[in-house]
Amino acid sequence: MRYQSILRSVLSTAVLPSAFAAALFLGGCAQPQSNMSAPSLYSQLGGEKGITTVVHTFLINVSKDPRINGRFAHANLAHLQIALVDQIGELSGGPQVYTGPDMYQAHKNMHITDAEWKAFMQDFCNTLKQERVAPLAQQELLGLLTPMKSDIVGH
């Protein structure tokens, strides 16, 4: 009895915690390897070529959307196309560098409304589907753009 209780206390204080620690350690090692083998968002979007196609189709779709096309009636679309490709390239892990104004500066005094934001994001989402971007990559990219809302809307 005495040896059994000693054994039990040794197991619970030494062996089980270290087995648990080893499991945690091994679990922690396995994860980064599987993440490293996953393709980057940039490559899932098809690199610069794929992103350029998405942005081009998006600007066509925006220009057909009566909810927001008035906003872009006098815009320099060639410049906007380049800026968006650089911005999305950089955001998704590509070599591009966005050198334009930050999102607050770029949209201030435009008084963009919540409804216009929704229309813009809906057009973007539909464009990603239209260009057959994989669903997880769609979500990831939309997740990178969504936090910009507070800098863009209502100023």
The residues binding ligand HEM (CB under 6 A) are 68, 71-72, 75-76, 79-80, 83-84, 87, 100-101, 106-107, 112, 116-117, 120, 145, 148, 152
Which residue's CB is nearer to ligand HEM, number 32 or number 66?
A: 66
Helices (H) and strands (E) in the chain, counts: 9, 0
Structure tokens at 10: 């040794």
Min CB(57)–ligand HEM separation in Å: 16
E strand residue ranges, the chain: none
Which residue's CB is nearer to ligand HEM, number 8 or number 79?
A: 79
Min CB(151)–ligand HEM separation in Å: 9
19 vs 21: CA distance, rounded Å: 5
| DSSP label at residue 143 | H
